[in-house]
Amino acid sequence: METNQKLSEEEFSQMLTLIKRHAVTDMDQFSTWKLNSERGDIYVCLSNVPLAADDSVHKDLSHLAKS
């Protein structure tokens, strides 16, 4: 698979579903990850607490993740 190829809608939904499953089954309060890419390092932070003071800045993608 080419690394510069965009995710399909199905792949994006699957990614969210797997992240949600990780958060529910393996994550305690947060997960922080670092991945390298052709564009430099990528930092990912998953948390049970919103990072912004105003929760409305977070885009709700729940409808895209399968239960």
Domain-wise residue ranges, the chain: 9-51
Percent of the chain with pLDDT over 90: 79
What was the pLDDT predicted at 1?
Answer: 47
Interval 24-38 mean pLDDT: 96
Q: Which residues of 24-48 are buried (b: 16+ CB within 10 A; e: fewer)?
A: eeeeeeeeeeeeeeeeeeeeeeeee
Query: Does 2 score more than 70 pLDDT?
Result: no
For 18, list phi and psi in degrees, rounded to 5: -70, -40
Query: Does 66 score more than 80 pLDDT?
Result: yes
pTM of the predicted protein model = 0.82
Query: Does 3 score more than 60 pLDDT?
Result: yes
